Amino acid sequence: MNHKSTPERHENKRFEDGSYHDHIQLLHSGEAYFDRLKKVIENAQKEIHLQTYIFENDETGNSVATCLKKAAERKVKIYVLLDAYGSAALPDSFVQDLIQHGILIRFFSPLFSLNNFYLGRRMHHKIVVADGKTALIGGINIADKYRGTPELEPWLDYAVQLDCPAAGDLQKLCSDYFFKKGSSKKIKPVFHSAGSGTLIGIIQNDWLKRKTEVCDAYTNAILQAKKEIVLLGSYFLPGRRMSKALKKASKRGIKITVILAGVSDVPLVHRATEHLYSTFIGQGIEVYEWNKSVLHGKAAVVDNQWATIGSFNLNSLSCYGSIEMNVGIYSTDFAEALRSDFNKVILECRKVTKINLKKRASILNRLEDWFSYQMIRTTMLFLTFLPHLKVLKKYRL
Rg (CA), the chain: 21
Q: What is the pLDDT of residue 279?
A: 86
Mean of the pLDDT values across residues 228-251? 94
Q: What is the pLDDT of residue 330?
A: 96
Residue (of 354, 355, 230) closest to 297 by Cα position: 230
Which amino acid is located at 47 in the chain?
E
Q: What is the pLDDT of residues 80-109, one digit of tens each?
A: 999 998 999 999 999 999 999 999 999 987
Mean of the pLDDT values across residues 172-195? 78
Q: What is the pLDDT of residue 8?
A: 32
Query: Distance between CA 252 and CA 244 in Å, rounded?
Result: 12
Query: Distance between CA 215 and CA 251 in Å, rounded?
Result: 21
What is this structure's pTM?
A: 0.86
Q: For residue 193, which phi and psi values (nearest 5 degrees)?
A: -80, 135
CATH of the domain at 151: 3.30.870.10
Q: What is the pLDDT of residue 90?
A: 96
Question: How many residues does this entry show for the chain?
Answer: 397
Examine residue 96 and state whether it is found in any structural domain, yes or no: yes
Q: What is the pLDDT of residue 198?
A: 87
Query: Distance between CA 390 and CA 196 in Å, rounded?
Result: 49
Give me the chain's average pLDDT, please. Answer: 85
3-state secondary structure the chain: CCCCCCCCCCCCCCCCCCCEECCEEEEECCHHHHHHHHHHHHHCCCEEEEEECCECCCHHHHHHHHHHHHHHHCCCEEEEEEECCCCCCCCHHHHHHHHHCCCEEEEECCCCCCCCCCCCCCECCEEEEECCCEEEEECCCECHHHHCCCCCCCCECEEEEECCHHHHHHHHHHHHHHCCCCCCCCCCCCEEECCCCCEEEEEEEEHHHCEEHHHHHHHHHHHHCCCEEEEEECCCECCHHHHHHHHHHHHCCCEEEEEEECCCCCHHHHHHHHCCHHHHHHCCCEEEEECCCCECCEEEEECCCEEEEECCCCEHHHHHHCEEEEEEEECHHHHHHHHHHHHHHHHCCEEECHHHHHHCCCHHHHHHHHHHHHHHHHHHHHHHHHHHCCCCHHHCC
Q: What is the pLDDT of residue 10?
A: 31
Which amino acid is located at 35 in the chain?
D
Q: What is the pLDDT of residues 328-370, one digit of tens each?
A: 999 999 999 999 999 999 999 999 988 777 666 666 676 776 6
Percent of the residues in the chain that have a pLDDT greater than 90, as a whole number: 64
| Counted domains in the chain | 1
pLDDT at 309 over 60: yes
Query: Distance between CA 61 and CA 164 in Å, rounded?
Result: 27
Q: For residue 80, which phi and psi values (nearest 5 degrees)?
A: -115, 125
Query: Distance between CA 343 and CA 351 in Å, rounded?
Result: 13
Half-sphere exposure of 214 (CA within 13 A, CB side): 30
pLDDT at 28 over 60: yes
CA–CA–CA angle 225, 229, 235 (5° rounding): 130
pLDDT at 391 over 70: no
Which amino acid is located at 170 in the chain?
L
Examine residue 4 and state whether it is found in any structural domain, yes or no: no
Examine residue 297 and state whether it is found in any structural domain, yes or no: yes
Q: How confident is the model at residue 264 (pLDDT cuts 50, 70, 90)?
A: confident
Q: What is the pLDDT of residue 208?
A: 79
Examine residue 10 and state whether it is found in any structural domain, yes or no: no
Mean of the pLDDT values across residues 123-141? 97
Examine residue 156 and state whether it is found in any structural domain, yes or no: yes
Examine residue 377 and state whether it is found in any structural domain, yes or no: no
Q: How confident is the model at residue 22 (pLDDT cuts 50, 70, 90)?
A: low
Which domain covers residue 326, as residue numbers?
A: 20-354
Q: What is the pLDDT of residue 275?
A: 75
Examine residue 391 and state whether it is found in any structural domain, yes or no: no
pLDDT at 390 over 60: no
Mean of the pLDDT values across residues 235-241? 89
Q: What is the pLDDT of residue 29?
A: 97
Mean of the pLDDT values across residues 109-113? 57
Examine residue 304 and state whether it is found in any structural domain, yes or no: yes
Largest CA distance in the chain: 63
